Amino acid sequence: MLTLSRINEGAPRPAEAQPKTGGLDVAIAHAFRLLARDPASARAQAEAILEVVPGHPAGRLALGAALLRLGEAAGARDVLGALTRSQPDWGEAHHQLGLALASLRDEGALASFRRAVALAPAQAEAWGSLGDELMLAGAFEAADQAYAQQIRASTDDPELMSAAVAMCDGRLDVAERILRRRLTARPTEVAAIRMLAEIGTRLGEYADAENLLARCLELAPSFNAARHHYAVVLHRQGKAADAAVQVGRLLAADPHNPGYRTLQAAVLAQAGDYQRAIEAYETLLAQCPDQPKGWLSYGHALKTEGRQAESISAYRRAISMAPRFGEAYWSLANLKTVRLNDGDIADMTAQLGQRGLTDDDRLHLHYALGKALEDRADFAQSFAHYQQGAHIRRAQVSYNADETTAQVARTKAVFSHEFMALCAPRSAVEPAPIFIVGLPRSGSTLIEQILSSHSRVEGTMELPEIANIVKKLRQSATADGRAAYPDMVDALEPDALERLGELYLANTQIYRKSGKPLFIDKMPNNFLHVGLIRLILPNARIIDARRHPLATCFSSFKQHFARGQHFSYDLDELGRYYCDYVDLMNHFDTVSPGCIHRVDYERLVDDVEIEVRRLLDYCELPFEPACLRFYENTRAVRTASSEQVRQPIFREGLEHWRSFEPWLDPLKTALAPILGTDRTQGRGAISDP
């Protein structure tokens, strides 16, 4: 909110504007008080001031701010633009101009906000406006830094100031110690709670940040900056239903806020409501057309709905606005059915030679060039680009192959033959979920497309709910001092297991749109939790999508995943992960025969009808010819294979990995324990190539 102290900070005061009685100051203060509740009266007051003292800086600021609040952004821009030209060192004038330009979606808004904080670094609202604009532009790291500066600027208390300075400097451990000490003494201090949540978000501790922000809003329900942060944290955890509630409250307070509307579109897409997400993006881009990140997200939603030509156009629009936007190039390449042209290859190569390219842009350009050169059969250069992209990404993520191996060993120890015998079907549990597990790029999307072509089955997406339940179990075990997951599972009472199953069904309801009795959860990493799934949802079906190890692993290696799959960016780690996966699936085959149905991709390609009938028999579904015409299914598909499964099955890609065999020795070495064994796939031995 504009206050007289903010108006006067850095504000010029010409000699001719000096009031004799203080009446002018009173009039100006009144104009700014009127802004929030009655901008029309504020405008009239400002115009009256300017009649008495033409050109008065504070009067012009008040007039511009009032015009902006009345929806006359172009008029506000003209008034405030003239003001900043005559008073170039007034930070608040630049801030208000930035707000007007942002409302008009003028690209100069960012420069105005940056000028504002440079001139008036203590103005918290200007930092917040800068953060919002950076967030809208997709510059999330820079936005986080601006928000940290906003917290710092809004803090007068020396102790909180010390924490804010530490946050701005990246010394998060220092800031956390200060804030926890502070909250021990003052547990209801909203500013400290919000700052601690910000630290949790930066560290990826989203569950902690969520709890802190929920407490913050309990204490201060109108704290919309915290509510926006809360909605973002929920979205990042895949909690679309909860995020949608928070975004709805934000939009009720500020229906035209572009940042809120961007988040709304993202949450709708996350919930699988792609048509409404597309409409939300179209409305947003009509208001804010100069946002490359917005066009990219719009393209993703169009792709998911099968509107390929429009998605290509959206990606191209993003590239035209930001030629070094690597993710837009990769999104084109990732359609799989689109070939990048000579101009694209030349442009991407040129961008890689430029200084100042971010790591994210660089890795996406490498992956896109890898695909473009693969399509041209230049396999050596293609692999070199895939490897460079993977190398950059591996440095960004945290993964420990030994931890995965240890988790598999503990899971095998817990889920013994005797323990799995407890997983008898319960009639009270709805037999709704069909889980497809395995590794990415193993044919799981094809299986989902086949099943979702059945009249009784709905395809959804890779749902996060099992991972969320596991996270809850880990947290509760830590809090209670019990053994960690999965070791603690055998201590759960039957009622607790049943409640977890009910929680899963309740929390996945938002993704179900058709009312069909069965639905698919295609999260591949759920293979690590097959035992838990059998305990909490004993009537569920579990399908293991299996493909030749080298085909699966190399296909994963050359795929940049938007999130997760951190094991896939190093050939040795990838091979070890695949071996752990096979080891665990073999274990469940032994201790609970028949609980998992394996679909071998190569067999499916060889004889579609036989394998489809076997699959439907396992799911206790009658055969329907539509399952053989899966490519006619018009449902939304949200994976890298979205365009491929809209075509009939083809054999050409079965052995494609062999073109890259000269560079796959580290992968073959890691896979040595399973290559050539008869349990690697469902169709017998695999010869080591």
pLDDT digits (tens, 9 = 90+) for 247-263: 999 999 888 888 888 89
In eight-state DSSP terms, residue 564 is -
Q: Does residue 330 register a pLDDT over 90?
A: yes
What's the pLDDT at 196? 92
| Listed range (314-323, 402-411, 468-477, 680-689) with the worst mean pLDDT | 680-689
pLDDT digits (tens, 9 = 90+) for 196-212: 998 998 888 888 999 99
Q: What does the alpha-carbon distance between residue 113 and residue 248 come to, in Å, rounded to a whole number?
A: 27
Interval 301-305 mean pLDDT: 87
Say which residues have a Cβ less than 8 Å from residue 548's Cβ, sequence separation at least 6.
601, 602, 654, 657, 681, 686
pLDDT-derived band at 10 (thresholds 50, 70, 90) equals low
> Residue 487 has which token pair?
């070791």
Interval 414-442 mean pLDDT: 79
C-beta separation of 321 from 327 below 8 A: no
Task: Dump strand ranges (E) for 10-149.
Answer: none
C-beta separation of 464 from 237 below 8 A: yes
C-beta separation of 150 from 124 below 8 A: yes
> Burial code of 572-595, b = ≥16 C-beta within 10 A, e = fewer?
ebbbbbbbbbbbbbebbeebbeeb
pLDDT-derived band at 421 (thresholds 50, 70, 90) equals confident
Q: Does residue 635 register a pLDDT over 60?
A: no
What's the pLDDT at 686? 37
> Residue 194 has which token pair?
């919000």
Give the long-range contacts of residues 357-362, CB within 8 A, separation 24 or more.
Answer: 357/324, 357/326, 359/392, 359/395, 359/396, 360/326, 360/327, 361/324, 361/325, 361/326, 361/327, 362/326, 362/392
C-beta separation of 542 from 530 below 8 A: yes
pLDDT-derived band at 682 (thresholds 50, 70, 90) equals very low
C-beta separation of 562 from 331 below 8 A: no
> Residue 188 has which token pair?
């209801």
| Listed range (287-291, 402-406, 466-470, 670-674) with the worst mean pLDDT | 287-291
Which span out of 21-25, 267-271, 289-293, 644-648 was modeled with the highest average pLDDT? 267-271
Give residue 621's identity as a one-letter amino acid code: L
| Listed range (226-230, 266-270, 646-650) with the worst mean pLDDT | 646-650
Coil, strand or helix at 662: helix
> Residue 591 has which token pair?
């201790």
Q: What does the alpha-carbon distance between residue 449 and residue 434 come to, in Å, rounded to a whole number?
A: 13
What's the pLDDT at 454? 93
- Helix, strand, coil shares of the chain, percent, nearest 5, are 65, 5, 30
| Listed range (288-302, 478-492, 607-621) with the worst mean pLDDT | 478-492
What's the pLDDT at 28? 83
Give residue 398's identity as a one-letter amino acid code: S
Coil, strand or helix at 222: coil
Domain 232-396, classified CATH 1.10.10.60, yes or no: no
Beta bridge partners of 600: 546
Q: What does the alpha-carbon distance between residue 217 and residue 410 come to, in Å, rounded to a whole number?
A: 40
CA distances from 332 to 224, 289, 385 (A): 36, 20, 16
* Averaged pLDDT score across all residues of the chain: 85
Question: How open is the CA angle 632-465-644, to the nearest 5 degrees?
Answer: 25
In eight-state DSSP terms, residue 484 is P
Q: Does residue 137 register a pLDDT over 50?
A: yes
Q: Does residue 334 register a pLDDT over 50?
A: yes
In eight-state DSSP terms, residue 574 is H
| Listed range (122-126, 235-239, 371-375, 534-538) with the worst mean pLDDT | 122-126
Coil, strand or helix at 485: coil
What's the pLDDT at 424? 60
Domain 4-154, classified CATH 1.20.1440.230, yes or no: no
What's the pLDDT at 653? 65
pLDDT digits (tens, 9 = 90+) for 20-41: 335 677 888 888 888 877 888 8
What's the pLDDT at 128? 78
Q: What does the alpha-carbon distance between residue 30 and residue 43 come to, in Å, rounded to a whole number?
A: 11
Q: Does residue 69 register a pLDDT over 50?
A: yes
CB atoms within 10 A of CB 309: 8
pLDDT-derived band at 649 (thresholds 50, 70, 90) equals low
Coil, strand or helix at 483: coil
What's the pLDDT at 651? 60
| Listed range (2-11, 50-59, 379-388, 492-501) with the worst mean pLDDT | 2-11
pLDDT digits (tens, 9 = 90+) for 157-199: 678 778 888 887 788 899 899 999 888 887 877 788 988 998 9
Interval 376-384 mean pLDDT: 96
Q: What does the alpha-carbon distance between residue 421 and residue 156 come to, in Å, rounded to a whole number?
A: 62
User: How large is the C-alpha radius of gyration of the chain?
Assistant: 29
Length of the chain: 689
Q: Does residue 555 register a pLDDT over 60?
A: yes
Percent of the chain clearing pLDDT 70 (strictly above): 88
Q: Does residue 127 register a pLDDT over 80?
A: yes
What's the pLDDT at 52? 86
What's the pLDDT at 689? 32
C-beta separation of 229 from 201 below 8 A: yes
- 4-154 and 232-396, same CATH topology: yes
Task: Dump strand ranges (E) for 431-583.
Answer: 433-438, 457-461, 518-521, 541-546
403-671 CATH: 3.40.50.300
What's the pLDDT at 633? 66
Sorted by where each begins, the domain ranges of the chain are: 4-154, 232-396, 403-671
What's the pLDDT at 135? 72
pLDDT-derived band at 687 (thresholds 50, 70, 90) equals very low
Closest CA to 463 of 380, 377, 540, 576: 540
Q: Does residue 678 register a pLDDT over 50?
A: no
Q: What does the alpha-carbon distance between residue 96 and residue 61 come to, in Å, rounded to a whole number?
A: 8
Q: What does the alpha-carbon distance between residue 446 and residue 435 come to, in Å, rounded to a whole number?
A: 14
Strands 596-600 and 457-461: unpaired
Q: What does the alpha-carbon distance between residue 367 and residue 355 come to, in Å, rounded to a whole number?
A: 19
Q: Does residue 3 register a pLDDT over 60?
A: no
What's the pLDDT at 479? 66
What is the pTM for the complete model shown?
A: 0.72
Strands 518-521 and 457-461: parallel
Q: What does the alpha-carbon distance between residue 586 and residue 392 come to, in Å, rounded to a whole number?
A: 34
> Residue 360 has which token pair?
């994210």
What's the pLDDT at 21? 39
What's the pLDDT at 425? 55
Which span out of 3-17, 294-308, 418-432, 610-624 was modeled with the highest average pLDDT? 610-624
What's the pLDDT at 317? 93
Closest CA to 63 of 25, 35, 36, 38: 35
pLDDT-derived band at 431 (thresholds 50, 70, 90) equals low
Beta bridge partners of 543: 436, 597
**Half-sphere CA count of 374, side-chain side, radius 13 A:** 27
Residue of higher predicted confidence among 22 and 330 = 330
What's the pLDDT at 540? 93
pLDDT-derived band at 314 (thresholds 50, 70, 90) equals very high
